[in-house]
Structure 1
Amino acid sequence: MQRKLIRPLFPWLILLPLLIFFLYSLTVSLHAPISPSPKIKKISASPTCNLFKGHWSRDPNRRPIYDETCPFHRNAWNCFRNQRENMGTINSWKWVPQTCDLPQIDPFRFLDLMRNRNIGFVGDSLNENFLTSFLCSLRVADLGAKKWKRKGAWKGAYFPTFNVTVAYHRAVLLAKYKWQPKYSASGDQSQSEGVYRVDVDIPADDWANITNFYDVLVFNTGHWWGYDKFPKEKPLVFYRAGQPIVPALEMMDGLKLVLKHMVSHIQKEIPGKTLKFWRLQSPRHFYGGEWNQNGSCLFNEPLEESQLDIWFDPSNNGVNREARTINRLIDEAIRDTDFEVLDLTHLSEFRADAHPAIWLGRQDAVAVWGQDCMHWCLPGVPDTWVDILSKLISHHLKME
């Protein structure tokens, strides 16, 4: 009798613990945190991460990712082809942020992240210098890249594998300006050969119609705002609402007004979803005079940090003082906007050794234009700018 009773109970004695374990596991799983999908990456910006403060460190193993054969080079900046001295040394310096890691751009990963998007640069030739470095870096990942000059672009490339366009729109003052010969007016300008009319409230045609094409925009101006570009016999005359501004503005006051109106235009016309950067000034390294006064930059090593204020502090009234002066005006203009600041000034101030100088690709270039101590050799310092910009763009795209 006892054997008959044990047999039907035996399966339950086995199943009951299994049932209890299952119910317990289910309860635990319902209260456990859900792991995010591996496809979703949540990136949090570190408040201590400042890519723009740091130092240059020599790395003998560091190499540029492109060479003189890049089809997007501009001849005067192609320092390998022009046989500039010390190019190996120039490109062995690595920018090391104080609290961040800054790897070289991975063009394959970056273009894949940028797929079906476009990047635009607007400004003067230093943004073209920047763009050229960017194009040559990205071409490593897409050898089928084609030159692209549409929508008013001065220079650019289309990367068909990723459906990405990266281009530069030349607008040296950002605002619209044009030459008016034989200008006759009262005051000092009556003896001028003519004037350059600047409409402070109208964007230059080269970028006026790009508002919906680019997903990322990088703006700059500043390098043409000097009397070496616009001497007093060919001055800038500022207009607003179609009328000359009276009394006439000095150049820096004109720049301040242009910045105010251009920033307002961008904020109003460029879609809010567009990622907007403003690149601060790229410092020049003329020693002994301006570009047209035999200024030179035949240096073999970066400057020491203790030398920077001597070179660039406006209070010292040096040849290269304008970068920090203009940066202050830009900072005022973009404050309380959604622009991200690309503060590439400080890290570039060190690199007096990295300009084309006398290696410009033409025998008569120095005699005609003087040494180039403003633009940068490529490969060179702008490659670090590319590393920083690509890191910031990637961060934003991963946050979407």
Structure 2
Amino acid sequence: MPRIRLPLLLLLPVTLTVVLLLIPSSPPQPPPHSPIPCGAAPSDAAAGSWIPTPEPSLPPLYSPSCPFHRNAWNCLRNGRPPVAALSWSPARCGGGVVPRVDPAAFLAAARGRRIGLVGDSLSENLVVALLCALRAGDAGARKWKRRGAWRGGYFPREDVVVAYHRAVLLAKYTWQPVEKSKIQKDGIKGTYRVDVDIPADDWVNITKFYDVLIFNTGHWWGLDKFPKETPLIFYKGGKPIEPPLNIFNGLKVVLKSVASYIEREVPSKTLKLWRTQSPRHFDGGEWDHNGSCVSDRLLEEHELDSWFDPRFGGVNKEARLVNSAIQEALVNTDIQLLNLTYMSEFRADAHPAIWLGKKDAVAVWGQDCMHWCLPGVPDTWVDILAARILHYFKQGKG
């Protein structure tokens, strides 16, 4: 039987098909990572500069009448001259600035989620700015103080909760008075028992409620809050720690214990952030020794170390000292730093100072060179925090 010869042109498609089938297929490639938006990178607040807000300069997102505001930080209502319109320009962003949060877009992206802050009054300073900013995206926002929250808001349009839980040491602490006879003997009126391995009641039951948690502590860890007449005594496993710890070493133990608790009890899908210390700007003395911050001048880069480096022993050294302990405690955890210290060190111009909203407040409490005017620096914190949260959500996390 004669062989059938097929034309070469008919054989080529068959041959190519066989060859292609024999070539091992490569796995599908994931889509390339989108660039991290300005403000969303962890380094964006740690390197950069303040520049005049680019034109057109928009008014603040909220007014002194914001229902979430706190009187002591409502500087415009209290008569303080307005803080300069400045924007943070991260070194990474090529001269650009951190974009202002779009409240409606943020709430839409965070639909059905809950954002919680845990810590001292500087976290409250931040949450007030966040609540007032987001209200611009939902006029129906209302106050929310469930689950032990000290202050909070519910945004019904997108079913979003933002709240602050006050836990100044993060660990549980209780007052223990002493007998009068002992007071006369050594001057101690009582002690505060700090259980380093037990979280404060204010947040121990919320670890699985929030989709984003931002922690802080630091401003209460000093002799001005706990003088020698009412010292902190640290306990672990129900027993006093021996030898007794000083305040700073006690802080380090609490930080590590709390970080370990967060790792165990907070779900892995939750975005866990730890905000670094907010710097103080007392000039000329501590808050109770005529320290002042009546100023409209930003600090220069070359001045920062003399103000804040612990080696120089100034009254504002607390922030960097506490930050070193925070960084040590977070090693090998999935808790991310929200580093707002460096960018805030420049802003000696932005505290309430003498404009506290109450008669004789300065005579009683001294100037406030620790908290911030609102509107003010915490609004930029909000922009950076919002960028971090949105980037996390867009990655399919949380």
Q: Which residue of structure 2 aligns with residue 280 of structure 1?
A: 276
CA shift in 2, pair 1:72/1:191, >3 Å:
same
Residue aligned with 1:389, SS: helix
Q: Distance in 1 between matches of 2:322 and 2:58?
A: 33
Q: Distance in 2 between matches of 1:83 and 1:191?
A: 42
Does residue 57 of the first structure (1) align with residue 51 of the second (2)? yes
Q: Which residue of structure 2 aligns with residue 171 of structure 1?
A: 167
Does residue 116 of the first structure (1) align with residue 109 of the second (2)? no
**CA apart distance, 1:41:** 10
Q: Distance in 1 between matches of 2:32 and 2:356?
A: 45
Does residue 271 of the first structure (1) align with residue 267 of the second (2)? yes
Q: Name the aligned partner's letter for residue 34 of structure 2.
A: I
Contact 2:37 2:387 in 1 (8 A): no
Does residue 370 of the first structure (1) align with residue 366 of the second (2)? yes
Q: Which residue of structure 2 aligns with residue 92 of structure 1?
A: 85
**CA apart distance, 1:223:** 0.4
TM-score by length of 2: 0.87
Residue aligned with 2:92, SS: coil
Q: Distance in 1 between matches of 2:254 and 2:92?
A: 36
Q: Which residue of structure 2 aligns with residue 25 of structure 1?
A: none
Q: Which residue of structure 1 aligns with residue 304 of structure 2?
A: 308
Task: Structure 1: give runs of 5+ residues left out of the alignment.
Answer: 1-33
Residue aligned with 2:260, SS: helix
Q: Name the aligned partner's letter for residue 137 of structure 2.
A: A
Q: Distance in 2 between matches of 1:255 and 1:310?
A: 24
Q: Distance in 2 between matches of 1:43 and 1:342?
A: 21
Q: Distance in 2 between matches of 1:337 and 1:93?
A: 35
Task: Structure 2: give runs of 5+ residues left out of the alignment.
Answer: 1-27
Deviations 1:233-264 (A, max 9, x none): 11000011111111111000100000111011
**CA apart distance, 1:191:** 2.9
Residue aligned with 1:301, SS: coil
Q: Name the aligned partner's letter for residue 245 of structure 2.
A: L
Contact 2:292 2:353 in 1 (8 A): yes
Q: Distance in 2 between matches of 1:207 and 1:184?
A: 34
Q: Distance in 1 between matches of 2:229 and 2:334?
A: 39
Q: Distance in 1 between matches of 2:60 and 2:118?
A: 25
TM-score by length of 1: 0.86
**CA apart distance, 1:189:** 9.6
Q: Distance in 2 between matches of 1:215 and 1:180?
A: 36
Q: Name the aligned partner's letter for residue 92 of structure 1.
A: A
Q: Which residue of structure 2 aligns with residue 68 of structure 1?
A: 64
Q: Which residue of structure 2 aligns with residue 161 of structure 1?
A: 157
| Equivalent residue in structure 2 for 1:140, among 136, 142, 146 | 136
Q: Distance in 1 between matches of 2:289 and 2:240?
A: 33
Name the stretch that deviates more: 120-129 or 93-102. 93-102
**CA apart distance, 1:63:** 2.9
Q: Distance in 2 between matches of 1:54 and 1:252?
A: 30
CA shift in 2, pair 1:184/1:216, >3 Å:
farther
Q: Distance in 2 between matches of 1:106 and 1:189?
A: 60
Deviations 1:9-60 (A, max 9, x none): xxxxxxxxxxxxxxxxxxxxxxxxx9x9xxx996344899531110000237
Residue aligned with 1:67, SS: coil
Q: Distance in 1 between matches of 2:130 and 2:335?
A: 20
Name the stretch that deviates more: 155-164 or 40-49. 40-49
Identity %, equivalent residues: 59
Q: Which residue of structure 2 aligns with residue 207 of structure 1?
A: 203
Q: Distance in 2 between matches of 1:137 and 1:246?
A: 47
CA shift in 2, pair 1:345/1:189, >3 Å:
farther
Q: Distance in 2 between matches of 1:260 and 1:215?
A: 22
Q: Which entry has the higher C-alpha Rg, 1 or 2? A: 1
Residue aligned with 2:342, SS: helix
Equivalent residue runs for 1:241-260 within 5 Å: 241-260=237-256
Q: Name the aligned partner's letter for residue 321 of structure 1.
A: K
Does residue 328 of the first structure (1) align with residue 324 of the second (2)? yes
CA shift in 2, pair 1:358/1:272, >3 Å:
same
Q: Which residue of structure 1 aligns with residue 15 of structure 2?
A: none
CA shift in 2, pair 1:259/1:185, >3 Å:
farther
Residue aligned with 1:68, SS: coil
Q: Distance in 1 between matches of 2:326 and 2:44?
A: 19
Q: Distance in 2 between matches of 1:248 and 1:387?
A: 42
CA shift in 2, pair 1:260/1:183, >3 Å:
farther
Q: Which residue of structure 1 aligns with residue 231 of structure 2?
A: 235
Q: Which residue of structure 2 aligns with residue 19 of structure 1?
A: none
Does residue 130 of the first structure (1) align with residue 123 of the second (2)? no
Q: Distance in 1 between matches of 2:180 and 2:107?
A: 53
Q: Distance in 1 between matches of 2:36 and 2:185?
A: 52
Q: Which residue of structure 1 aligns with residue 4 of structure 2?
A: none
| Equivalent residue in structure 1 for 2:34, among 28, 36, 43 | 43
Residue aligned with 1:367, SS: helix
Residue aligned with 1:177, SS: strand
Runs of 4+ in structure 1 over 6 Å off: 183-186
Residue aligned with 1:99, SS: helix
